[in-house]
Structure 1
Amino acid sequence: MNLRIILILGALSAFAPLAIDFYLPGFPAMATAFATDEKHIQLTLAVYFGGLAIGQLIYGPLADRFGRRVPLLSGVTLFTVASFACAYAPSLDWLIGARFVQALGGCAGMVISRAVVSDKCDAVGSAKVYSQLMLVTGLAPILAPLAGGLMVGVWGWQSIFLALSIFSVMAAIAVAVGLPETFPAHQPRQPLSGSLRRYGALLSDRVYLGYALTGGISIAGMFAYIAGSPFVFIKLYGVPAEHYGWLFGSNAAGFILVAQLNARLLAKRGPAFLLSRTVWVYVAAALSLLGIAAMRTEALWPLLVPLFICIASLGCILPNTSACAMSGQGARAGSASALLGCIQFGVAAGAASLVGVLHDGTAMPMAMVISLCGVLAVTIAMSTQRLQRARAVQAQG
């Protein structure tokens, strides 16, 4: 896959993290503008996650029926219009509705970028490209809040959504000019009437579902960290709020570095092999985190070491689970990508909520959820690979 297409797919993959992380510094200003509190402003974030989960299920069948370009350009256009609507929202209800529509448009890039990679690459090639795209996913949590904070201070919170509109217009131009149709010419287009049947077939495919759940549960551990770390770092251990971003960014940097290392290791080992090793690193670090949290240490650094390893290991786990799940999907790659994303965000949102439900004023809820995710991820990954090996032996026999 050439560099031009990878850069375009990187821009498309950035839609979701940018629309989430970019506007977080604007919460206080938005609460003031709409005469409400930040708790109600957070509804704009919750509804965005809901839109991402629902929208992906819509774009999958569309991509399998109409190809990759038409649904993609439609989704990017919808994101652009919704971003303008967010910028000029006259009320909080309007903003919440516009954020939902924005998510419906933005998730087109997530679904179809995975389908494009599957169209053009085998399992190993796909894992390499996904690892390169993780560079965008990892950089967004570092750079987007910093840029968003500067823009809110200078031009107000509306400027963030105007910037997202400009970004999406540029992405649409790049897609129109530089991204060819990649739907395999020899594959029949899938009718929309068979969408539910295709999703049912994917859910009954134990190998696909196993890899999808392994990735989803691993991402759930990261969401538990995102949900719990502000309290643990700032409230519990007294880290100044302005320094929180550096701790958050260091973990994101570990994620990026491991993702790039994974891309190099794939030249020697396949994605399934690397996944089978890395999930054990993840669960070992997660259980260490739980043990340290149970001791309630006075210093923060003992928690930071296993937490860094947990987040960094996802740079290997996530691209490899996506590559293994998408391998061999062919004409239904759009539906497979959509269901993969829906499972990931659905499980991850549940983990973030569980951290809040278990909140007890310690680091234990965050550590417990991350550890649970680690145990489940390694269990499902190992059983999935045993099943896949058994199928391979049966096919050879």
Structure 2
Amino acid sequence: MTAARKKPSFGLALLLGTLSAFGPLSMDLYLPALPTMQADLHSSATLAQLTITASVIGLGLGQVLIGPLSDRYGRRVPLLAGLALFTVCSLLIVFQTDVRLLIGLRFFQGIGGSAGQVLSRSIARDMYSGAKLTSFMAVLMAINGVFPIISPSIGSLILMITSWRGIFVLLLIIGLILMAASALYLRETLPATRRSNELGRAFVDMLYLLKQREFMAYVIAQAFSYGSLFSYISGSSFVLEGHFNVPVFAFAVLYAINGLGIIVGTNLAGRLSARRGTLPALKMALYGLVGVGVWLVVTSFIWDSLVLLIVGLVAMQAFLGMINTTATSLGMNGEADRAGGASAMLGLFSNVMGGIASPIVGLFAATNAMPMVGMIFVWAVMALLSYFLIAPRRRA
């Protein structure tokens, strides 16, 4: 039985949606600063992009620790501890002058931020199941989707008045606010009677999920789709600012336009799931992402047009929003007793795949958008193929 089934308050949805957005908060906010941070720290483009990779890997590995811990000890204590770690690391990053130390701190900052990602999904699963879970996940993802829209603009405004370090001052403040709000307003949603009896058992239960083909089909497909997302995240500032000579603030505006696709996609996922089912919505999104990949490669190769690139990226974000909402809902729906572990596995594979994808674009000596859009297409194809290869066949 779920802990509660009444309609959630807007405040709770806003808090959980913001907690789930530590990825955008940790990365999109300072994407416009990557070139200037690279110059200030006398770093290479690859090392600068490794600050993204370190954060992404921390976000993934942290979920593996925090998910089972929350299945054993409840949601509140691991969440507050993670938020505290995120806040402390943000403070330390402000004073860093060595890019290698900054990369290390970004890793631990990611571990702290992972608490918000993994436990927002776990709390949602504690409260809902089935179509209601998909609908609530769509709300959380829509709130989450606002941050990629506003974060680069905020980051660009900060860069106009101070250095990239000011962005991490803002992250410090955000961490403090979320920690206070969670401590004051977020109740425990996992009663003691539903918790794992032993911590070791909670980790074993999480590893058990690796044997579940249907669950892993959702996990792997979502993870490969994150490869497309992070190819875009890590390459967008260099392509738009470097290749197309887009000013920093204009980059933030274009990034915000692209981010609107996430809100459209999550809303569409909720509507399609209610009408046709969550699984058909996921399959439609996987095919759509491949189609967008084809569009991006063909248009970049033939015309190299900024307008056509932006059109394709908006569509890509929409299909990614659909995949994230539906795959998360399907993966979490059957794992009420292992919600923390299931959420951790979804987060781990997605973030690690994003961490792998991020520096790959930087390895190419790009003079156009082809390395970025080429990798978007490759990961999209792998997402589609992996689902159909791993998922057990259903009887007609």
Shorter-chain TM range is: 0.7 to 0.9
Give me the whole-angstrom Cα distance separating, in 2, the residues matched to 1:244 and 1:318. Answer: 25
Cα deviation code 1:108-137 (max 9, x no counterpart): 110111111111111322222222222333
Residue 256 (str. 1) matches residue 280 (str. 2):
no
| Residue matched to 1:143 | 150
- Which of 119, 131, 135 aligns to 1:128? It is 135
Q: Residues 94 and 62 of structure 1: is their aligned pair in 2 closer, same or farther, counting only changes over 3 Å?
A: same
Superposition map of 1:179-258 within 5 A: 179-184=186-191, 186-258=193-265
TM-score (normalised: structure 1): 0.87
| Residue of structure 2 equivalent to 1:363 | 369
**Is the 1:119–1:184 contact (alpha carbons within 8 Å) kept by the matching residues of 2?**
no
Match of 2:281 in 1: 274
Report the secondary structure of 1:183's partner residue.
coil
In structure 1, what residue type is equivalent to 2:276?
Answer: R
| Paired residues of 2:138 and 2:269 also in contact (CA < 8 A) | yes
How many angstroms does 1:212 deviate by? 0.6
Structure 2 length-normalised TM: 0.87
Q: Which residue of 2 aligns with 1:379?
A: 385
User: Which residue in the other structure is 2:355 paired with?
Assistant: 349
Counterparts of residues 62-77 of structure 1 (less than 5 Å):
62-77=69-84
Aligned to 1:312: 318
Question: Which residue does the alignment assign to 1:107?
Answer: 114
Q: Tell me how far apart the structure 1 counterparts of residues 313 and 386 of structure 2 sit (CA, whole Å).
A: 22
Bigger mean CA offset, 378-387 vs 116-125: 378-387
Distance 1:106 1:382, change over 3 A: same
2:8 match: 2
Tell me if the contact between 2:53 and 2:356 (Cα under 8 Å) persists in the aligned partners. no
- C-alpha contact 1:216 1:344 (8 A) present in aligned 2: yes
Shift of 1:249: 1.9
SS of the residue corresponding to residue 79 of structure 1 reads helix
Unpaired segments of 5 or more residues in structure 1?
Answer: none
2:304/2:368 contact within 8 Å kept: no
Percent identity between the two aligned chains: 34
Give the aligned partner of residue 341 of structure 2: 335
The alignment status of 1:323 with 2:329, answered yes or no, reads: yes
- The one of 125, 135, 151 equivalent to 1:118 is 125
CA 144–301 in structure 1, closer or farther in 2 if over 3 Å, else same: closer
Residue 198 of structure 2 corresponds to residue 178 of structure 1: no
Q: Which amino acid aligns with 1:326?
A: M
CA shift, 1:359, in A, is 4.9
Instruction: Give the 3 Å change call, closer, same or farther, for CA 197–86 of structure 1 in structure 2.
Output: same
The whole-number CA distance in structure 2 between the counterparts of 1:90 and 1:359 is: 26
Please list the CA deviations of residues 145-191 of structure 1 after superposition, one character each: whole Å capped at 9, or x if unmatched.
22223334435444433332222222122222221111155424252
Q: Which has the larger radius of gyration?
A: 1
Partner secondary structure for residue 181 of structure 1? coil
SS in structure 2 opposite 1:117?
Answer: helix
**Does the C-alpha gap of structure 1 residues 181 and 105 become closer, same or farther in structure 2, counting only changes over 3 Å?**
same
2:169 to 149, 153, 162: 162
CA root-mean-square deviation: 2.7
Segments of structure 2 that go 5 or more residues without pairing to the other structure are: 1-6
Q: Alpha carbons of 1:319 and 1:358: their partners in 2 closer, same or farther (altered >3 Å)? A: same
How many Å apart are 1:347 and its aligned residue?
1.5
1:294-319 superposed Cα distances (whole Å, 9 cap, x missing partner): 4x225443444333322221121110
